[in-house]
Amino acid sequence: MSGLTKVILITSALGLAACDNVTGGNSGGTSLNGGGAGSVADETSPAYFNQEIGDRVLFVVDQSSLTTQAQGILLAQSNWLLANTDYTVTIEGHADEQGTREYNLALGARRANSAQEYLVSRGIASNRIKVVSYGKERPLEICSDESCYSQNRRAVTILTGGLTG
């Protein structure tokens, strides 16, 4: 027989098992922050913080500096946190979909950090604040124009600890 010159052994395909030792939901944090516990009328409630003060600030395209409006919201957040010392917070930084994945993670980190620095400058202990960036992974609004993008470029202050445990 001519030409059958080589023999190559191919091992069988990799046996892969499903990985099942991960639990929980894929929400990756509470993007919406919900309405918050308690009554909006109760100034010490998360509901008041989220709805009356506002749990989020918005950013200009590709920017992480705080607008005047954002500073106003963060000032009110800091006053609330000074009065309600049981709470710690996690600040989530987000970007709109117009950008590459890694860059948007870094941009979200800048935005969360801007909000954190403002709160710290107003007297909130830095050990009460954690920051995390979601980049473009967790959009709130899903259309592909500026009306949605402007809502997705955000830093959201999530209340943790305190009354909600």
Partner 1 sequence: MRTFLTGVLLAAALLAPATAVVAQNGPLRIEITDGVIEPLPYAVPSFIADTASASELSTQIARVIASDLSGTGLFREIPASAHISKVTDFDAQVQYADWKAVNAQALITGAVSVNGNRLTVRFRGYDVFADKELDGGGLQFTGTTDGWRRMAHKVADTIYSRITGEGGYFDSRVVYVSENGPKNDRRKRLAIMDYDGANVQFLTNSASIVLAPRFSPTGDRVLYTSYESGFPQIHVMDIGKVQRRVLSTDDGIMSFAPRFSPDGRTVVFSQSQGGNTDLFTMDINSGKLTRLTSAPSIETAPSFSPDGSQIVFESDRSGSQQLYVMAVTGGEARRISHGKGRYGTPVWSPRGDLLAFTKQNKGRFHIGVMRTDGSEERLLTASFLDEGPTWSPNGRVIMFTRETQGANGRSLLYSVDISGRNLKPVRTPDGGSDPAWSPLQN
DSSP state letters, 86-134: TEEEEEEEE--SSS-HHHHHHHHHHHHHHHHHHHHHTT--GGGEEEEEE
Please say which residue, 11 or 68, places its beta carbon nearer to partner 1.
Answer: 11
**Is residue 6 within the footprint of partner 1 (CB under 8 A)?**
yes
Angle at CA of residue 122, ends 151 and 149, nearest 5°: 10
Give min distance, CB of 105 to partner 1, in A.
5
Q: Does 63 bind partner 1 (CB under 8 A)?
A: no
78: three-class secondary structure by DSSP: helix
Per CB under 8 A, the list member of 49, 59, 118, 134 interacting with partner 1 is 134
Least Å from the CB of residue 116 to partner 1: 8
Residue 147 interacts with partner 1 (CB under 8 A): yes or no:
no
Tell me the site size for partner 1, rule CB under 8 A: 59
Is 156 a residue that touches partner 1 (CB under 8 A)? no
Query: CB within 8 A of 122, min separation 6: which ones?
Result: 74, 75, 78, 79, 82
Strand partners, 99: none
Binding site for partner 1 (CB under 8 A): 1-20, 22-26, 28-29, 64, 97-103, 105-107, 109-114, 116-117, 130-134, 137-144
